[in-house]
Structures are given as C-alpha cells and as structure tokens.
C-alpha cells in the first residue's frame, strides 16, 4: 500500500460520523454514534444481520488500529539495517 493510499484511508476515516459507535436492536440491528454535544444518538446504519452490525460497530476502531500498526511497522522497518549474507561467515549462515 502506498503512502497516498494510507493517507486517503485516514482522511476518509476522519470524515465518518463522530462519536463512540454502538449497536442496538429492535426488529433489526442498528449501529449509531453518540453525539456528546446534543446528548443523542446519530444512526449510522441499519443491518438485517446481527453479525454485520457487530462488525460495523467496531470498524472505525479496527481501521484506526490497523493504520497505526502499518505506521509502526514502517517506522520499525526504516530503522533496520539492510541485511546481507556477505556480512557473515559461511559457518554462520546455517545456524
């Protein structure tokens, strides 16, 4: 994934309905976000399958965590010295 693609995902994530997403059920399952300022819920979507609602409820946090992990791994990778088998003796290759 390119840096631009990751930026687009972060940008899109910043545009979703704000607030803690939660799920509630009536005849179908709903996912909503809590609006602290107005003390009310904002419907995000209606799902006919409970499992869909359960996943969608957690999706913003899952995406944030995945993006943070990609960023962490890229930083970690940038700090690693390139490895070359020429840097070690033949006897060390098969340890």
Mean pLDDT for the stretch of residues 11-40: 91
Q: How many CA atoms lie within 13 A of 43 on its CB side?
A: 7
Q: Does any domain span residue 84?
A: no
Q: How many separate domains does the chain show? A: 1
- Assess if residue 31 is contained within a domain: yes
The domain in which residue 27 lies consists of 3-72
Residue 64, domain member (yes or no):
yes
pTM above 0.85, yes or no: no
Which pLDDT tens digit goes with each residue over 10-19?
Answer: 999 999 999 9
Q: Is residue 20 part of a domain?
A: yes
Task: Identify whether 29 is part of a domain.
Answer: yes
In a domain, residue 24? The reply is: yes
Q: Is 81 among the domain residues?
A: no
Q: Are 46 and 57 in contact (CB under 8 A)?
A: no
Instruction: Please check whether residue 89 lies inside any domain of the structure.
Output: no
């Amino acid at each position: 994934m390119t840096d631009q693609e990751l930026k687009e995902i972060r940008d899109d994530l910043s545009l979703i309905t704000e607030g803690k997403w939660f799920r509630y059920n009536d005849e179908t399952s709903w996912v909503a976000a809590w609006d602290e300022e107005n003390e009310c819920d904002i419907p995000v979507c209606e799902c006919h399958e409970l499992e869909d609602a359960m996943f969608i409820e957690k999706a913003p946090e899952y995406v944030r965590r995945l993006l943070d992990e990609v960023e962490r791994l890229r930083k970690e990778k940038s700090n690693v010295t390139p490895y070359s088998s020429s840097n070690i003796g033949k006897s060390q290759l098969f340890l």
